[in-house]
Amino acid sequence: MSEFMSFLSMEKKLEEKYPHKIISICNGALVAIGDSYREVIDKSYEKIGKKKIFVHRLGPLKKLVAIL
């Protein structure tokens, strides 16, 4: 399964647990979570070495709405 397909299968749970965070996935598993792309990439490489990773910023849950 591609990293993107792995992400799609986990997207809802990840958005519930880590809204607005940046995550990385490698080999179908969540590798790192953080507030910046650099932080997540550095954590990922420390944990698994310089492998290909999928990095994505999570959005808020689609059911959440803010009216200002």
6-43 pLDDT tens trace: 999 999 999 999 999 999 999 999 999 999 999 999 99
Q: What is this structure's pTM?
A: 0.81
Residue 19 DSSP one-character state: T
Bridge partner list, 51: none
Long-range contacts of 2-9 (CB under 8 A, 24+ apart): 3/28, 3/52, 3/53, 3/54, 4/54, 6/54, 7/54, 7/56
Q: In whole angstroms, how far apart are CA 4 and each of 31, 39, 55? A: 14, 20, 9
- For the segment 33-67, what is each residue's pLDDT rounded down to a tens digit? 999 999 999 999 999 999 999 999 998 766 655 56
